[in-house]
């Protein structure tokens, strides 16, 4: 997990990527095992747990942050954090259950004005679970006074 936490600021219990599998210049593949003891399964849904779609999306967004951090690695770690700027075309195809290990893939489609337009998807084995297009900027967030 240190390969992940060395690159992005996310930490448990809000870290949804376990490991980086492969990385090329414009894409990254990661993996996540959804553990039955995670607190959100207690309420989503009692007696029939299913991984919340918003957390599946978050795992894709965190994988995108890993891709960007890896691209910046040779230039020194940038200041700030990865900030989500846009989400569109989210498609859920299949549920993810406690104990499932998913593969998350993200690629950069375009870069414009400091924004990285990306596409990502999740697979559970050979079955596609989710696809999403999104944009990320690496920025220093303003701290409220």
Inter-residue contact 137 to 126 (CB < 8 Å): no
**Euclidean distance between CA atoms 75 and 133, whole angstroms:** 26
Please calculate the CA angle 24-53-94 and round it to the nearest 5 degrees. Answer: 80
What's the rounded Cα separation, in Å, for the pair 1 and 11? 10
44 is catalytic: yes
Bridge partners (DSSP) of residue 31 are 19, 103
Check 15, 27, 38, 44 and give the catalytic one.
Answer: 44
Residue by residue, what is the 3-state secondary structure of 52-86?
CHHHHHHHHHHHHHHHHHHHHHHHCCCCCEEEEEE
| Residue positions annotated with a catalytic role | 44
């Amino acid at each position: 997990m240190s390969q992940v936490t060395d690159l992005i600021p996310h930490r448990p219990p809000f870290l949804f990527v376990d490991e980086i599998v492969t990385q090329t210049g414009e894409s990254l593949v990661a993996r996540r095992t959804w553990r039955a003891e995670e607190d959100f399964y207690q309420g989503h849904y009692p007696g029939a747990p299913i991984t919340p779609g918003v957390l599946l999306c978050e795992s894709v967004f965190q994988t995108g942050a890993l891709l960007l951090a890896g691209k910046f690695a040779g230039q020194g770690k940038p200041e700030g954090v990865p900030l989500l700027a846009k989400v569109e075309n989210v498609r859920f195809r299949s549920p993810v259950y406690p104990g499932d290990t998913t593969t998350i893939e993200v690629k950069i489609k375009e870069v414009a004005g400091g924004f990285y337009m990306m596409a990502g998807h999740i697979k559970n084995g050979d079955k596609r679970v989710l696809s999403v297009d999104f944009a990320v900027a690496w920025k220093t967030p303003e701290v409220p006074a």
